[in-house]
Copies of this chain bind each other. A is one copy, B any other.
Amino acid sequence: MQLFFSDNISSIEGRLTEDESRHCLSVLRKKTGDTIQVIDGKGFIYDCLISQDKKICAFIVQQVHEIKPLRTSRIHLAIAPTKNADRIEWLLEKAIEAGLDEISFVHCVHSEKPRVNSERLKKIAVSAIKQSGQPYLPVINELRSFKEFIAAQQSASQKLIAHCNSEYLRTPLNNVLSGYSKDTSVTILIGPEGDFSDKEIMLANESKFQGISLGNSRLRTETAGLYSVMLANGILLP
């Protein structure tokens, strides 16, 4: 089942983006009158009839199906970007397959790379939900400083910070997650290769982030991110 993505769709009609139109019309050679399935990244799949096949693909909606999320909880990953952008792109793709709901990028004292290409990440996210059949497009937040990020999480329910500094209390992620009810939403903060600074850990702890350990000695940033999402998704699935 080939899915297309549209962020310009109602229960009556809609149109694909330029990229998606090119794929649909030029690559797959769909024509006016052909049927396609479109997702909106908000939990709906639309059965559509193509009504325009010149440059932009427009369509009439014939039926709408609502796809219920697998979890009632939400998983929010916050991570320091890696030096090589492709490692974060890889992480995003795999984390979406594993059920990621939201991702934030955090600039830390030991961060290697202070830039994130959100446009490119959004494209990767769209392609990942199409490929994996996930009906929800995760929220992708712009890069923020560590301080700004922490301040913005005041109202978040369960907040975790993964670090390697044994001077601060850390509980294994598995134990923390197993203690939650299945509808608990969780924010997990993963640091750069050089770990968080003492100051950052203290600031997070003051803001009710609980210290966690990921068990294995030396995980790359992106592996730590994916590990957290996979574990949270696996344990919080009803």
Contact = CB atoms under 8 A, between A and B. Distances in A.
Contact of A97 (B132, B173, B223): B223
A220 B98 CA distance: 10
Interface stretch (A14-22, A47-55, A102-110, A230-238): A230-238
Interface stretch (A35-43, A57-65, A152-160, A210-218): A210-218
A152 B59 CA distance: 54
A219 B95 CA distance: 11
B132 A219 contact: yes
Interface in A119-142: 131-134
B220 A233 contact: no
B172 A237 contact: yes
Nearest to A177: B234
A202 interface: no
A226 B94 contact: yes
Nearest to A90: B90
Q: How large is the interface on A (under 10, 10 to 19, 20 to 34, 35 or more residues)?
A: 20 to 34
How many copies of this chain does the complex contain?
2
Residue from A173, A178, A235 whose CB has the most chain B CB atoms within 10 Å: A235
Interface of A: 70, 94, 97-99, 131-134, 172-174, 178, 215-220, 223, 226-227, 230-231, 233-235, 237
A70 B234 contact: no
28 contacts: A70-B215, A94-B226, A97-B216, A97-B218, A97-B219, A97-B223, A98-B216, A98-B219, A98-B227, A99-B215, A131-B218, A132-B216, A132-B220, A133-B218, A134-B216, A172-B237, A173-B234, A174-B234, A174-B237, A178-B178, A216-B233, A226-B226, A226-B230, A227-B230, A230-B231, A230-B234, A231-B234, A234-B234
A237 B131 CA distance: 32
Contacts of A70: 215-217
A229 B99 CA distance: 16
A231 B227 CA distance: 8
A98 B225 CA distance: 12
